[in-house]
């Protein structure tokens, strides 16, 4: 089996940044915007933060996807021969697809919010009484997505850890034996 250091690194670093960045923004940036002083400035602060994060997040996601494809290619033999590997790969792919969908939808909503740079808000995901209705609706959806994305990407981290355990020699031998017997 060839070493997959580059693809594994792209996969792990991209996923780490995607998970960590979205979690940090949910925990810190979105609520911290309320400290800006007034509602219009809070909207400007959170929009500036998310607009700065978006290209980094896109690069992280791209690195993760490229690394994931490399991991699939590098483990193609195991996918067909070791019991449990194909199921794990399907679960991981499904979680990744869900995280990609949630991230893309979050970006669509984020654009609705950031189009009005000085829109009054309480925080990044909490509208003020004077927030325009379309922005307020987007913020209410973003309030859920800010937690859904780290939950989904965190689940991918967990499945990836499980995948690493499946590569241990003892597990690989058990999985191959089960495939041959079963």
pTM of the model: 0.88
Residue 83: per-residue pLDDT: 86
Domain span holding position 175: 5-181
CA-to-CA dists, residue 168 to 82, 127, 172, angstroms: 12, 49, 6
Number of domains in the chain: 1
1 by Cβ neighbours in 10 Å (0-12 / 13-18 / 19+) ranks as exposed
Mean pLDDT computed over 58-78: 94
Cβ within 8 Å of residue 97, ≥6 positions away: none
Residue 1: per-residue pLDDT: 45
**Highest mean pLDDT, choosing among 15-19, 25-29, 117-121:** 15-19
Mean pLDDT computed over 55-73: 96
């Amino acid at each position: 089996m060839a070493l997959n250091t580059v693809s594994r690194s792209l996969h792990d670093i991209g996923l780490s940044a995607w998970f960590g960045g979205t979690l940090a923004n949910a925990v810190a940036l979105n609520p911290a915007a309320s400290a800006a002083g007034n509602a219009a400035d809070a909207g400007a602060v959170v929009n500036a933060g998310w607009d700065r994060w978006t290209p980094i997040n896109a690069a992280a996601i791209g690195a993760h996807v490229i690394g994931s494809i490399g991991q699939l290619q590098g483990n193609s033999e195991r996918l067909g021969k070791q019991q449990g590997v194909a199921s794990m790969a399907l679960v991981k792919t499904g979680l990744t697809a869900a995280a990609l969908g949630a991230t893309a939808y979050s970006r669509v909503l984020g654009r609705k919010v950031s189009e009005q740079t000085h829109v009054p808000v309480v925080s990044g995901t909490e509208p003020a009484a004077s927030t325009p209705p379309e922005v307020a609706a987007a913020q209410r959806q973003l309030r859920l997505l800010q937690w859904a994305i780290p939950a989904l990407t965190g689940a991918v981290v967990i499945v990836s850890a499980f995948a690493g355990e499946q590569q241990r020699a003892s597990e690989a031998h058990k999985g191959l034996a089960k495939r041959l017997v079963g």
